[in-house]
Structures are given as C-alpha cells and as structure tokens.
C-alpha cells in the first residue's frame, strides 16, 4: 500500500529476496488514495 509508504528504504534493506528496489520515480500523485494500492498478481483483464 503506497499510501502508507514514507520512502525511507527500510523495506528494501531488510527484504530477504532483494525483490524491492527504490527508484527516483516519484510521479505517484493521485486524487484517489485507493489507486496507491498495487496488486502484483492481478491480471490486466481483471481475472484473479
């Protein structure tokens, strides 16, 4: 949930599988907070 992220990098430091990488991409502005929640295994057509 990116709405709770403060971009401190601690999650990247402790990730045991090196699956997280912080970048300089900060263009995450939104008017709808629910769009900050990402579902990595959700397909484009909406099927689960």
How do residues 3-39 score in pLDDT, each as one tens digit?
778 888 899 999 999 888 888 776 666 778 777 777 7
Predicted pLDDT at 13: 94
Assign 44 a pLDDT band (cuts: 50, 70, 90): low
Question: Can you tell me the distance from the alpha carbon of 9 to that of 14, in angstroms, rounded to the nearest whole number?
Answer: 9
What contacts 26, CB < 8 A, 6 or more positions away?
Answer: 7
Helix, strand, coil abundance in the chain, percent, nearest 5: 25, 0, 75
**Predicted structure pTM score:** 0.45
């Amino acid at each position: 949930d990116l709405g709770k992220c403060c971009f401190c990098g601690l999650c990247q430091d402790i990730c045991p599988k090196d699956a997280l990488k912080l970048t300089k991409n900060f263009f995450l502005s939104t008017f709808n907070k629910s769009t900050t929640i990402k579902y990595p295994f959700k397909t484009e057509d909406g099927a689960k």
